[in-house]
Amino acid sequence: MNAIPSHPEAVRPDWLTAQLRASGVLTDGAITAIRWEAIGTGQVGDSARFHLSYNRPGAGPATVAGKFPAADETSRGTAGAFRLYAKEVGFYREIAPHLGVRVPQVLAAEIAPDNVDFVLIFEDLGPARGGNQLSGCSVADARAGIRQAAAIHAPSWNNPALIDLDWLAPLPGQVDQIKALYGQAQIIFQERYKDLLEPEFMALCGALNEARGDWFGHDGGFRSIIHGDFRLDNLLFDIKDGAEQIAVLDWQTVAAGNPLTDIGYFMGTGIGDTLRRSCEDELLDLYCTEMTARGVGLSRDAIWDDYVLGALSGVSTAVFSAAFVERTDRGDANFLSMARGGCALALAHGSMEKLKG
């Protein structure tokens, strides 16, 4: 089979047998039947768990996970235009092996020239507890997330072999395109959520839109691989029935940039204002300690300004995504949660003033 199976229904036993053999997890025997079920709540890509039957009992894993283009046309078009699927495939092929972050082992990674049709097959990390943006998390979960952020950033810190990969760079004209589209996104976001989002938060969203020329393309300070959407919905906890603490998923937004973008995003948009206020100092100290232990000496003073600016990435992601991916009830709740947490952090520490100053 030469065509990429870009929907779970298109995955056939012979194709998957060949992929598992190539990855080394299947040495003999063959898959004879596949049953699949949808998993996850992602809006940019669709995920499934595959239950596998073999011609020889125990020949290979009982289940694997797969990721595919979103069924929704709007989400799929946005992902193709901004190479989100290509970035995730590229991450697993070229970057993941060099980082310390726990990600699922990739068993197949293919993408078509149109940057839309793709397939990723992974080890199944279940049973696991999915992070939930709307439910929040414990301090222990937040600590685990911070440690994983350091495991992304430290190995790639100023590492040209990773951060200078051609496909990580924005396409020519892409930053200007985003600036133009962001104005439209802000109009949609304001109209949609004007009666739901607190006025002071909506005012900050408007101020960021006015300053979008300064914000998009802003990339000063430190440099490493960043996740780009580092929040609870993209984390799995207690993976493999509690055998391991955490794994990080959904790498469509991987980029080379300031690592404190991930931290500001996680602390505001990710864990939310209530938990952030109660343990902000502890978690920032933990990040510095973890980075220092991994060979990148950092202090609170050294990271503070970039951390505060990083809060704005969560705000801009909420506004932009709300306009250009499939609209769902859970998506609306997610984007409001993201905006609230990011805006609260930004207002608490003067993020807009730092951007303009």
* Helix 329-349 × helix 273-293 angle, to 10°: 70
Residue labelled with tokens 């799929």 = 76
Q: What pLDDT is stored for residue 92 in this prediction?
A: 97
The fold of the 129-356 domain, in CATH, is Aminoglycoside 3'-phosphotransferase; Chain: A, domain 2 (3.90.1200)
C-alpha to C-alpha distance for 332 and 286, rounded to whole angstroms: 32
**What dihedral do alpha carbons 143, 145, 148, 150 form, nearest 10°?**
-70
Of the candidates 335, 339, 309, 338, the one whose C-alpha atom is nearest the C-alpha of residue 322 is 335
In percent, the amount of the chain with pLDDT more than 90 equals 89
Residue 114 is encoded by which pair of tokens? 């149109």
Q: Across the chain, what does the average pLDDT equal? A: 95
C-alpha to C-alpha distance for 333 and 235, rounded to whole angstroms: 18
Q: Round to the nearest angstrom and report the end-to-end CA distance of the chain.
A: 56
pLDDT band at 170 (very low <50, low <70, confident <90, very high): confident
Q: What pLDDT is stored for residue 219 in this prediction?
A: 73
What is the arithmetic mean of pLDDT over 60-75?
Answer: 93
pLDDT band at 1 (very low <50, low <70, confident <90, very high): very low
What is the arithmetic mean of pLDDT over 255-278?
Answer: 96
Q: What is the pTM of this model?
A: 0.94
**One-letter amino acid for residue 20 of the chain:** L
pLDDT band at 2 (very low <50, low <70, confident <90, very high): low
Ordered by start, the domain boundaries in the chain are: 8-123, 129-356
**Which overall architecture, per CATH, does domain 8-123 show?**
2-Layer Sandwich (3.30)
What is the arithmetic mean of pLDDT over 226-247?
Answer: 97
